[in-house]
Amino acid sequence: MTRRAYPSDVDDETYHFLLPYLALSPEHAPQRKYPLR
C-alpha cells in the first residue's frame, strides 16, 4: 500500500537540510507526540 503524497511533503534532501532547524527546541518543551518526518 502506498501513501498518497501531501502538498507539504518534502524530499529527503530538503528534509536533511531542514532537520537541524526542526530539532531546535527549548529544554523545557514537552516531548513530541508525533515524529518530525
What is the structure's pLDDT at 22?
83
Q: What is the pLDDT of residue 13?
A: 94
The C-alpha atoms of residue 35 and residue 37 are separated, in whole angstroms, by 6
How many Å apart are CA 14 and CA 31, to the nearest integer?
Answer: 24
Q: What is the mean pLDDT of each run of 10 residues along the chain (37 residues)?
A: 85 91 83 79
What DSSP line would sit under 1-37, residue for residue?
--PPPPTT---HHHHHHHHHHHT---TTSPPPSS---
Collect all residues with Cβ–Cβ distance below 8 Å to 37 and sequence separation of at least 6: 15
* pLDDT confidence of residue 24: 86
Structure confidence at residue 16 (pLDDT) = 92
DSSP 35: -
